[in-house]
Amino acid sequence: MVHYSGEISCRLEVDAMKNFPRTTKLKNRDNRNLIYKFYPGFSEDFVEDVIKILNVSTDEIILDPWNGSGTTTYVASKLGIPSIGLDINPVMSIIASARLFNIETNPYNADYLLKLSDKFRTNVEQDDALCNWFHKDTVTIIRNIERTIFDGKYLREVIVNNEYSNLQAFYCLILFNVVKHLAHDLKSSNPTWIKKPISTERKSFTKAEIDEIYLNEYKRLVQVYEHNKVHQAVNPKIIIGRSESIPLDNSSVETVITSPPYCTRIDYAIMTSLELAIFNISEIDFVKLRHSLIGAPVIHKKIPKVIREWGPTCLETLSKIENHDSKASRSYYLKTYLQYFHSIFLSLKEIDRVMKNDGKCVIVIQNSYYKDIFIDLKQIFIEMINYFGWRLLDTYEFINPNNLAEINPRGKEYRESSTTKEYAVIFKKW
């Protein structure tokens, strides 16, 4: 029997990846954005290709510690592979669960649900989170539909202990999309930001108008879900939790396929503020959630200190940001980057803890800029993971035409090109 060295076996694995997908985006049909428009993330095609290339078997577990809208858990389920999806934002847990619903098992249609909603007489208070956007009477209609979906309860009641089904998540997803439709003209120039109108301009809709929009969205999604086939014997575990403290045992997963939050570029709480309002989240809890989300451009009370374990590229980048001559570089922006890299390092440490030896990890990273400073996130991630003793198998580069640089036109003041590159970085734990 021939025993190969680590170097040789590693090279063989790299060679086996010669068919690695050349884009993280859509090749054929991608149901992700058809079900729920969510800018961040990779396509179903990409995840499926990666799973096949890594030769993940049905007795292994795939983890996505930044599961977002649930592409990894959905594709794993479609292929009959157990998976776990983690995200701190409860909105994402509903969406990820909704994608796992099999429309063929639907016991009733939306028309029936809307008729049932008439039996509720919900008393809406003026401090209801939805009243930030809608008239009280409109909020009452939305709350009645919400209570119908969750058997008389509110979403905030069932989410705490994960007491909802994929069916209920599906109908709640429709409600998310309906509410976003109702507030469509409140979008700002930043497509991830929803404005709050002044009190006199809060939007008002009749029951008939909301029912019509809900039914149309239901009919649309039914057509999408005809192609949304999942393996019924495999139901992924969808967890609300932080990637910095993954609620899993040591050495419990074989594969990680994920994409971390963008580096201080998207305020994920603001982006999902309407959906969070359906949870009737208080202002205090909204602020807490916003501060717990990695990459959010907010300043915490306690700013982490730089540690050498983050790697030379990260430390050099932070030094450039600190010494940049633009306004607030040191007083504000440096702090957001410190928070980001601190959270990323802790998250990678947790991934290292829950991964089995010989496990593989694929991380999709989009490059970033601070003003004219290039943030080499690919190299930063490589150096951080190298600290834990993992082996880099390979990296793949993609041009992303749909990029974050286009969201903020002011970024063009600092650089000629807004072309964005994405990287898939593949590691193996030794």
Say yes or no to pLDDT of 9 above 90: no
**36 Cβ neighbours under 8 A, 6+ residues apart:** 69, 95, 98, 173, 176, 177
Q: Which pLDDT tens digit goes with each residue over 212-249? A: 999 999 999 999 988 777 766 788 999 999 999 999 99
Confidence (pLDDT) at 402: 54
* Residue 20, CA distances (Å) to 41, 52, 53, 141, 361 in order: 18, 10, 7, 49, 14
Say yes or no to pLDDT of 4 above 50: no
Give the separation between CA 379 and CA 385, rounded to whole angstroms. 10
Q: Count Cα neighbours of 113 within 13 Å in the Cβ-side half-sphere.
A: 30
User: Encoding tokens for residue 249?
Assistant: 């045992």
The domains found in the chain, sorted by start residue, are 1-89+239-259+299-430 (3.40.50.150), 101-229+262-290 (no CATH)
**161 Cβ neighbours under 8 A, 6+ residues apart:** none
The amino acid at 237: K
3-state class percentages of the chain: helix first, strand second, coil last, to nearest 5: 45, 15, 40
H or E element, residue 350: helix 334-354
CA-closest candidate to residue 68, choices 32, 15, 118 = 32
Grouping H, G, I as helix, E, B as strand and the rest as coil, residue 72 is helix
CB 141 within 8 A of CB 213: no
Grouping H, G, I as helix, E, B as strand and the rest as coil, residue 356 is strand
Confidence (pLDDT) at 107: 80
Q: Which residues pair with 84 in a beta bridge?
A: 63, 237
Global confidence as pTM: 0.89
Confidence (pLDDT) at 186: 77
More confident call, 200 vs 113: 113
User: Encoding tokens for residue 50?
Assistant: 């990666």
Confidence (pLDDT) at 286: 94
CB 77 within 8 A of CB 231: yes
Q: Count Cα neighbours of 124 within 13 Å in the Cβ-side half-sphere.
A: 22
More confident call, 396 vs 191: 396
Residue 200 is classified by DSSP as G
CB 32 within 8 A of CB 44: yes
Confidence (pLDDT) at 12: 38
Convert 248-298 into a string of H (helix), E (strand) and C (coil). CCCCCEEEEEECCCCCCCCCHHHHCHHHHHHCCCCHHHHHHHHHHCCCCCC
Say yes or no to pLDDT of 201 above 60: yes
* Residue 419, CA distances (Å) to 245, 313, 375 in order: 34, 22, 14
Name the pairing type of β-strands 62-64 and 253-258: parallel
Choice among 177-181, 257-261, 359-363, 367-371 with the minimum mean pLDDT: 367-371
User: Encoding tokens for residue 422?
Assistant: 């994405």
Give the separation between CA 73 and CA 12, rounded to whole angstroms. 28
Say yes or no to pLDDT of 5 above 70: no
Average pLDDT, the chain: 87
Q: Which pLDDT tens digit goes with each residue over 244-278? A: 999 999 999 999 999 999 887 788 899 899 999 99
Q: Which pLDDT tens digit goes with each residue over 401-427? A: 555 555 554 545 554 555 668 899 999
Residue 159 is classified by DSSP as H
Give the separation between CA 194 and CA 183, rounded to whole angstroms. 8
